[in-house]
Amino acid sequence: MAVIVLSGVLLLVVLGCVCVFRDARGGGPRWVHVVAVVTLAVGEVVRSSGRRGRRGGGGGGDDD
């Protein structure tokens, strides 16, 4: 079941990236632009949530 869910998420990510690329080149219907905007917005949310999770400095956590 987890493989099916992860495959679906991967498919959505790939299709979103294709829409961003196609929209950046200036082609395609309106829905391509909408999907590209949504994809970029989700990417920004994921990036900012990753930054908030790393508090406390740049130690990295490994003491080797």
Task: Please tell me the distance from the alpha carbon of residue 40 to that of residue 33, in angstroms, as a whole number.
Answer: 11
| Per-residue pLDDT at 28 | 82
Predicted TM-score of the model (pTM): 0.68
pLDDT of amino acid 56: 54
Q: How many whole angstroms separate alpha carbon 19 and alpha carbon 32? A: 5
Question: What does each of the 64 residues of the chain score in pLDDT, given as a tens digit?
Answer: 999 999 999 999 999 999 999 999 987 899 999 999 999 999 999 899 887 766 655 555 555 5
Q: What is the pLDDT of residue 51?
A: 74
Q: How far apart are CA 34 and CA 58, in angstroms?
A: 37
Query: Which positions ≥6 away from 6 have C-beta within 8 Å?
Result: none
pLDDT score at 6? 96
Do 37 and 60 contact (CB within 8 A), yes or no? no
